[in-house]
Amino acid sequence: MVSRLRRIIPICGVAFAAFFNLSAAELVLAERGQPADYRIVVPANPVPVFGYAAEELRDWTEKLTGVRLAIETNTTPAKAVYLGGTEEGLGTDGFRVKAEGGNVRVLGSPDRGV
């Protein structure tokens, strides 16, 4: 049970950050009954953590909304959640969610942050 919570809590953190930290404009990743507009994008040759994070985001988005987001590698779709990239000062487990022109970027350490 504890290991399951350790997986769910960071995902919930990303979801809350993505939905509540974007006050300037509404950004909806998925809506029940609607086709998926967003894609999850990981870098070419991603570290295993990025692939795991992409799968978790896809699976939990589908469980919550019924919409399955596609996972792509090194593409630039019109609407995307980009996983990967680093930012100083976040530590091993830290992450930052940024909205950029209708897209979302999740930055963090390649160890566990993303």
pTM of the model: 0.74
- Those residues with Cβ within 8 angstroms of residue 111's Cβ, 6 or more apart along the chain or in another chain: 49, 92, 93
pLDDT in tens, the chain (114 residues): 545 545 544 554 555 455 444 444 688 889 998 999 999 999 988 888 888 999 999 999 999 999 999 999 999 999 999 998 777 788 888 889 999 889 999 988 777 777
Amino acid symbol at 98: K
Residue 85 burial (10 A CB sphere; 0-12, 13-18, 19+): middle
Structure tokens at 113: 């942050």
Mean pLDDT of the residues in the chain: 81
Contacts of 37 (CB under 8 A, 6+ apart): 78, 79
Q: Residue 1: its pLDDT value, please?
A: 52
